Structure 1
Amino acid sequence: MEHYMNALRSYADFSGRNRRKAFWMFMLINIIFSLLTSVIDGITNTMFVSSIYSLALLIPQLSAGARRLHDTGRSGWWQLLWLVPVIGWIVLIVFLAQDSHEGENDFGPNPKELAVEPTTV
């Protein structure tokens, strides 16, 4: 839940990098909430709750995806591959599942390296 809340707090921040775990945990919780809103809509025979939830999470999803792509050394504009049926989806999922580039890249320092505290001798 921590990763979900962090993504919501930085909903309009399209700069920087996002670790793979943080992105996929956000997506997992988002999918669970989407399913719950769909169940609520099925019970009430409307599409109101799921539509509002989807619109509210559009910008946070785009920003989390852009930061994740930044972590792999790609621009956030690669998310436009979602518009290409099947092939684009597969390519984008592969990009989002790749490991971080080591060290700094054009988008900032590696968050994986920042999370590891140096040991003192």
Structure 2
Amino acid sequence: MDFQTAVKTCLSKYTDFTGRASRSEFWWFVLAQLVILIVASLIHRFVYGIAALGLLLPALAVGARRLHDIGKSGWFLLLALIPLVNLVLIYFYVQPTQPESNSYGEPPTA
């Protein structure tokens, strides 16, 4: 999945916490989010706040779908609230896609 497709997919599924998201979809969206937030912070604090709030729901949704892709529950996102333990999430995010179907659906196509 390329950069543009990943960002479009994540923004179009901004409240879809079901299904699965590939590694490339997740990491391309993280990169886009980082760039948007850096540019917004250079403009003004208020613009940064609006951008951060606007990207919060899509980021949570793609994070949950990425966890579904490796067979984990989206509730593991709550680990981000615990200092140092949230590093486990990064480990989960870099895991390869399960090639077979799991309880969250078919594997992503790209």
CA distance in 2, matches of 1:5, 1:28: 13
Within 5 A, what are the aligned runs for 1:1-121? 1-41=4-44, 47-86=45-84, 88-111=85-108, 114-115=109-110
Where structure 2 has 5 or more consecutive residues not aligned to the other structure, the ranges are none
Give TM-score, length-normalised by structure 1: 0.85
CA distance in 2, matches of 1:48, 1:21: 30
Percent identity of equivalent pairs: 42
Aligned length: 107
Deviation at 1:89, TM superposition (A): 2.2
Q: Quick one: which amino acid aligns to residue 82 of structure 2?
A: V
CA distance in 1, matches of 2:34, 2:23: 16
How big is the alpha-carbon RMSD for the aligned residues of Structure 1 and Structure 2? Answer: 1.0
| Over 3 Å off, 4+ runs | none
